[in-house]
């Protein structure tokens, strides 16, 4: 999931891709046609043929540019539509099929729109229309054009859906090789865990419990992008989120996401009670500091974060059960967290964390009443 600004830039690049791609197809078509005419000496047969002259004129690049802009916009709109939460429940193959169907319909609409625009502007004359002969060459040409554009649609559609499913930020890192060697970064981590998971699993049964986790995580995914959160890992009924220091107020966004998620679950209270008989609640532990990021594995490659910061965040989260709290943060997190009228920060004293020789001070965040 990309932040909104980055997503807009990606969409602009997609539109630019279609403009350049269709212009490239036009250039190849014109050059191949001119080469064919030259090799077989057909120049004399084209004199007075307005359709042939139009086909070989620079006007084709105007059509190509208009087509690229129109279809690029349709492509972006369809892609946005299918990124809605309800489509996350669809099978990967079905999403590819439905999106491709919409794209092909969009392509037909674009051809019609460009034709009507150029017809209204006077670019197409009556003589040109009379010179069009529907036969094997025309059918073959149209088929080749449609196959070429269709192949690009399927490829780009598959690529975008694969990137979306595997984390767009990680794909970019793999392509650039950013983490082929360990890199130190400043990051915030939040471990978010379902409360009372063991009794819930026993009460609901495996399948229903898994569906509860699935629905809850889908709700979290639906708002994660708004708060610039990266989904690092799903571990059973726990989800790990991270923010890097390139995100403005990334400490603040971490806390805001927790409370926004809590609000979203409560807003869907009727749905959860009707379907599962329970309203899921989550507890969180947050920490920040310097960690190491690197690529690991080759049969299954992923970006892994290592360091005391992430281990401490996990252990802070586990203290919620003991202290009866919802969200706990470290001293480092508190020291850099901007002040807010929406919550209060209270110390829970020094706590012993597994693996640490010395106790560390932990703080809870309590939201103020609206």
pLDDT surpassing 70 at residue 364:
yes
Q: Which residue has the higher pLDDT, 302 or 145?
A: 302
Q: What angle (nearest 5°) sits at the alpha carbon of residue 359, between those of residues 355 and 364?
A: 105
Token pair, residue 185, equals: 């970064």
Domain boundaries, the chain: 4-166, 179-367
Nearest to 3 by CA among 172, 214, 153: 172
pLDDT per residue over 245-265, tens digit each?
A: 754 577 889 999 999 999 999
Report how far residue 228's alpha carbon sits from residue 223's, in angstroms, rounded to the nearest whole number.
9
> Helix or strand or coil: residue 343?
strand
Report how far residue 324's alpha carbon sits from residue 102's, in angstroms, rounded to the nearest whole number.
50
Instruction: Choose the weakest-confidence range: 16-30, 35-49, 107-121, 280-294.
Output: 35-49
**Hey, which of 45-49, 107-111, 181-185, 208-212 has the most confident mean pLDDT?**
208-212
Instruction: Tell me yes or no: is domain 179-367 CATH 3.30.365.10.
Output: no
pLDDT surpassing 60 at residue 116:
yes
To the nearest 10 degrees (0 to 180), the angle between helices 206-224 and 197-204 is 130
Nearest to 242 by CA among 281, 291, 282: 291
Distances (CA, A) of 40 to 33, 35, 52, 137, 319: 11, 9, 16, 16, 83
- In this predicted structure, what is the pLDDT of residue 335? 86
Instruction: Choose the weakest-confidence range: 116-130, 131-145, 182-196.
Output: 131-145
pLDDT grade, residue 285 (50/70/90)? very high
pLDDT surpassing 80 at residue 156:
no
What are the E-state strand segments in the chain? 183-194, 230-235, 238-244, 282-296, 302-306, 327-330, 343-351, 360-367
Average pLDDT, the chain: 79
Q: How far does Cα 164 stand from its chain's mean position?
A: 4
pLDDT grade, residue 153 (50/70/90)? confident
Instruction: Say which residues have a Cβ less than 8 Å from residue 199's Cβ, sequence separation at least 6.
Output: none
- Mean pLDDT over 36-60 rounds to 59
Q: Which residue has the higher pLDDT, 139 or 195?
A: 195
Report how far residue 264's alpha carbon sits from residue 274's, in angstroms, rounded to the nearest whole number.
16
Token pair, residue 143, equals: 């088929």
Instruction: Say which residues have a Cβ less than 8 Å from residue 273's Cβ, sequence separation at least 6.
Output: 279
pLDDT surpassing 60 at residue 148:
yes
- In this predicted structure, what is the pLDDT of residue 340? 82
- In this predicted structure, what is the pLDDT of residue 76? 85
**How, if at all, do strands 238-244 and 230-235 pair?**
antiparallel
pLDDT surpassing 70 at residue 234:
yes
To the nearest 10 degrees (0 to 180), the angle between helices 269-276 and 206-224 is 160
Report how far residue 324's alpha carbon sits from residue 17's, in angstroms, rounded to the nearest whole number.
53
| In contact, 279 and 285? CB cutoff 8 Å | no
């Amino acid at each position: 999931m990309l932040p909104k600004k980055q997503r807009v830039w990606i969409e602009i690049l997609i539109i630019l891709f279609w403009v350049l791609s269709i212009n490239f197809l036009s250039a190849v078509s014109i050059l191949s046609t001119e080469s064919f005419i030259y090799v077989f000496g057909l120049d004399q047969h084209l004199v007075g043929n307005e359709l042939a002259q139009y086909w070989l004129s620079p006007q084709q690049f105007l059509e190509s540019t208009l087509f690229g802009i129109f279809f690029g916009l349709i492509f972006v709109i369809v892609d946005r539509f299918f990124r809605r939460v309800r489509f996350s429940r669809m099978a990967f193959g079905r999403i590819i099929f439905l999106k491709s169907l919409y794209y092909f319909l969009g392509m037909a609409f674009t051809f019609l729109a460009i034709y009507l625009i150029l017809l209204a502007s006077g670019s197409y004359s009556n003589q040109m229309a009379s010179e069009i002969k529907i036969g094997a060459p025309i059918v073959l040409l149209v088929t080749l054009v449609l196959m070429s554009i269709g192949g690009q649609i399927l490829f780009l559609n598959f690529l975008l859906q694969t990137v979306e499913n595997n984390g767009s930020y990680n794909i970019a890192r793999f392509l650039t090789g950013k983490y082929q060697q360990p890199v130190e970064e400043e990051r915030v981590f939040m471990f978010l865990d379902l409360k009372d998971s063991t009794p819930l699993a026993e009460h609901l049964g495996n399948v229903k419990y898994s569906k509860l986790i699935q629905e809850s995580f889908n709700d979290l995914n639906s708002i994660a992008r708004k708060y610039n959160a990266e989904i690092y890992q799903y571990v059973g009924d726990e989800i790990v989120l991270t923010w890097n220091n390139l995100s403005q107020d990334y400490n603040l966004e971490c806390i805001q996401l927790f409370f926004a998620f809590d609000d979203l679950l409560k807003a869907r209270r009727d749905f959860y009670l009707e379907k599962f008989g329970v309203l899921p609640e989550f507890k969180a532990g947050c920490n920040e500091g310097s960690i190491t990021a690197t690529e690991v594995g080759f049969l299954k490659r992923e970006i892994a974060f290592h360091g005391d910061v992430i281990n401490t965040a996990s252990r802070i989260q586990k203290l919620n059960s003991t202290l009866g709290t919802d969200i706990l943060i470290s001293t480092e997190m508190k020291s850099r967290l901007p002040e807010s009228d929406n919550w209060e920060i209270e110390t829970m004293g020094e706590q012993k964390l597994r693996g640490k020789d010395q106790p560390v001070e932990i703080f809870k965040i309590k939201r103020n009443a609206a």
